[in-house]
Amino acid sequence: MRALLCPGQGTQRSGMLEPWLEQRELIDRMSDAAGLDLVEYGCNADDATVTDTAIAQPLIVAVGILSNIALGAPAVDAVAGHSVGEITALQIAGVITAEQAVRLAAVRGQAMSDAAAQVQTSMSAVIGGDRTEVEAVIAASGAVLANINSAQQVVAAGTAEQLASLAENPPTRARVIPLTVAGAFHTQFMAPAVELVRAEIAQIQPADPICTVISNRDGAELRVGAEALSRIVSQITSPVHWDLCQATLSSAKALVEVAPGGVLVGLAKRELRGVPAVAITSPDDIPAAHTLLEEALA
């Protein structure tokens, strides 16, 4: 199996679009679809601005799409995306167009931003510790599991008070690290966003994917476009099970993470030892990604 990985929120940074401006006509169309000036936000905005969920999500999807085009849009066996990265994955798999993907990400991002504004919430990574104890301590704080990334990394979400309690009383041999996100994503705090995203998806006629889409809800291998697209709705209030995605990818011969890459390949190198992986952080990484994908065909 050769697979592409698509990162989610938290990977955004100022200037993230600047290395990927070659497809200017497509960028203009995606900007029109999203109702955002992607070049302005992706090249000139500061870190605080691009951390805004309504800006970060369409930018991350646009950068992922553009880096895949720069890679040559290679034929792969599977795609998987973390959180909003699943929208990038659907575009790469041919389920939706680039314009539909960035518009959907913009609608999702704005809806989640509005939901987050109702109650002050955020997320914290919990790294290390015994999994049973980690889950118990998170529950005791009042927070909930939002991402299960690996056996040694989960993400808790909740109110500022709940996350402060977790940080003050961490699990044994575990670190609690606040994340630069603006809400408790993938929890019931995001319920107000669900119908808005469902309404947007209802306007899209999806195609069946040209490769397998691995769902971040349960690691399932999806081959029907309508099902893959519908899961974008349910994931808004459901935990991301990247651990199950990695289990599905455990036999892969090559993993390439599209831009803004790094986080998912980092997890793969810790959890999927022996599986070759390359992260695309800039156009300089394209040759190594090409080579890895070609070698996996041999």
Residue ranges per structural domain of the chain: 2-117+187-295, 118-178
- Identify the pLDDT of residue 182: 79
Q: When comparing pLDDT for 180 and 36, which is higher?
A: 36
Give the CATH fold of the 118-178 domain: Alpha-Beta Plaits (3.30.70)
Which two tokens mark 98?
């680039």
Average pLDDT score over residue span 24-29: 98
Query: Mean per-residue pLDDT for 43-51?
Result: 95
Q: What is the pTM of this model?
A: 0.96
Task: Tell whether the model's pLDDT for residue 298 goes beyond 80.
Answer: no
**Angle made by CA atoms 224, 74, 298, in degrees to the nearest 5:** 110
Residues annotated as catalytic are 83, 186
How far is 124 from 144, CA to CA, in rounded Å?
Answer: 10
So what's the pLDDT on residue 58?
98
Tell me how far CA of residue 22 lies from CA of 26, 72, 137, 283, in angstroms: 9, 13, 48, 11
DSSP E strands, the chain = 2-6, 78-81, 121-128, 144-150, 153-159, 174-178, 212-214, 221-222, 254-257, 277-279
- As a whole number, the mean pLDDT across the chain is 97
pLDDT grade for 180, boundaries at 50, 70 and 90: confident
Q: Mean of the pLDDT values across residues 198-208?
A: 98
Average pLDDT value for residue range 66-86: 98
What single-letter DSSP state applies at residue 272?
A: S
Mean pLDDT, residues 283-292: 98
From CA 190, how far away is CA 23, in angstroms rounded?
Answer: 34
3-state secondary structure of 34: helix
* Surface-to-core class of residue 94, CB atoms within 10 Å of its CB (0-12 exposed, 13-18 middle, 19+ buried): middle
CA distances from 248 to 15, 242, 245 (A): 33, 10, 5
For the domain spanning 2-117+187-295, the CATH number is 3.40.366.10
